Structure 1
């Protein structure tokens, strides 16, 4: 991983990737991701993590904190999220949040169910 949180953003900005839409358009295939890694000097692992974050951000109402929770829960792509059991996923998200303290905001199982249902409507266009 990069030494600081801003370094990957700076490296992406240097090649014209300024937001998640720009990133989305550049990371749809393994070859695309390899090209971005080569152009930026970011590791393939960093590019994959950013790709998954970008993928999850396409789910309506998915904010960065919730996306981070989903990434850590292994429901880390739109496809995996859409196939998740909301009850089991909710328990996992609570466990992660209790352990890492990402948010003090309370979320409920229905919030997770909503994300799962919305993810079912999002096209799976990123090839992993």
Structure 2
């Protein structure tokens, strides 16, 4: 299972629907304004998939010419770029995950598994996890936990700390998060944070609802 969503199989209609159905953070809420017109302009210029659009938007220096070419406002494209890049989390060093012990990280890194993307690809099936366990000497139960933590960071907004909270709360797969009742998940996360002090403060119910929705887009 790839770490990232398949941008080539996500057309612009799918992207538009995702943005419209998402409770966007305030700084990106304007993306829904004239979204149908803006996306029609993009499609008219040959941008038919998320891959097409992301390739053009990936470098901010391309945005002025893209705005001129499509007639879509520059500021709108800047926000669209930020939203899209949020669907593709950057590789994380294994030391970013509190659940990994130093010795375990060293063993995994000796196998060339130095970040979240590489480790996910190496653990994305039961057979692969068994092989890595045998190769590194790390217990299979620990390898399973590593995979859960890494896999959950594929969800937009989920940091290593948030992944640890989800696992501790019993929501250790993307499917379980996507099918969760937001209120129940909120209470579970609040409970484990109080018990184990993952971070100071309190997670909001609205943020939990965003996480549940975001998880539904990750296959």
Q: TM-score, normalised by structure 1?
A: 0.90
Unaligned runs of 5+ in 2: 1-99
* Distance in 2, Cα, partners of 1:45 & 1:71: 13
Q: Distance in 1 between matches of 2:163 and 2:115?
A: 16
User: What's the offset of the Cα at 1:61?
Assistant: 1.4
Listed one character per residue, the Cα deviations across residues 78-122 of structure 1 (whole Å, up to 9, x for unaligned) are 111111101011011101111111100332011111111000000
Aligned equivalents of 1:90, 1:60: Cα separation in 2: 17
Tell me what 1:126 maps to.
none
Name which structure has the greater RCO, CA cutoff 8 Å, separation 6+: 1
Task: Give 1:90's aligned residue.
Answer: 186
Structure 1 distance, partners of 2:127, 2:160, is: 26
Quote the RMSD (CA, aligned, Å).
Answer: 1.1
Number of residue pairs the alignment of both structures matches: 120
Give 1:63's aligned residue: 159
Distance in 1, Cα, partners of 2:183 & 2:155: 19
TM-score norm. by structure 2 comes to: 0.53
- Residue 9 of structure 1 corresponds to 105
Gaps of 5+ in 1: 124-128
Q: Which runs of 4+ in 1 moved over 4 A?
A: none
> How much has 1:37 moved relative to structure 2?
0.5
> What is the CA deviation profile of residues 30-59 of structure 1, one whole-angstrom value per residue up to 9, with x for unaligned ones?
110001101111000110000000110100
Contact 2:190–2:202 (Cα < 8 Å) also in 1: no
Secondary structure at 1:89 match in 2: helix
Matches within 5 A, 1:1-128: 5-123=101-219
Separation in 2, partners of 1:39, 1:14 = 10
Cα distance in 2 for partners of 1:75, 1:35 equals: 25
SS, match of residue 200 in structure 2: coil
1:110 partner SS? helix
